Structure 1
């Protein structure tokens, strides 16, 4: 289940409507983390829950995206 995500290609942020009841501050922090991530390294980021209920952060880029910073993406995810 995807909690939220951001996409640098179409400059969009998305929060699953099932999580609309989260406190406003939490929703804002999620948005800030996602958007700043995609602005800095490009590509996409999603926060997802796996089958065991663990939060998984996934990043990706379009094939041929020469501006995507794969190393920077890995470092930023580790900081989260």
Structure 2
């Protein structure tokens, strides 16, 4: 699976990164992404990543720090599932944005949207 990092926050390095390739995202969306990454990195004590996979699928990923030997893999997975459920609309909007602006089919996606078709359901 091809993956591209959209944003990441590091608990131990206390840093936040958003990929400049996605600078065209609306500021409110970038802020919401930041408000997901930083608290989750702190809560899970890891580097927390949001990115795009194949076909614009949004993924969440955790990277354990060697400094935190008792990382809770199960707790992290549950927290990711909870966040994905709570942020379902954001994830849908991100995927749609990706399909429109970052794929060769972007113009076709826009056209189908204007025709009132549910683009994400057609995949």
Answer 1 or 2: higher relative contact order, Cα 8 Å, separation at least 6: 1
Name 2:72's counterpart in structure 1: 69
Question: How many residue pairs are counted as aligned between the two chains?
Answer: 80
Query: What is the TM-score with the length of structure 1 in the denominator?
Result: 0.86
Normalised TM-score (structure 2) = 0.59
- Flag the structure with higher strand content: 1
Pairwise CA RMSD: 1.5
Structure 2 unmatched ranges of 5 or more = 85-123
2:6 pairs with one of 3, 9, 21: 3
Identify the match of residue 54 of structure 1 among 54, 57, 61.
57
Higher Cα radius of gyration? 2
Q: Report runs of 4+ in structure 1 exceeding 6 Å deviation.
A: none
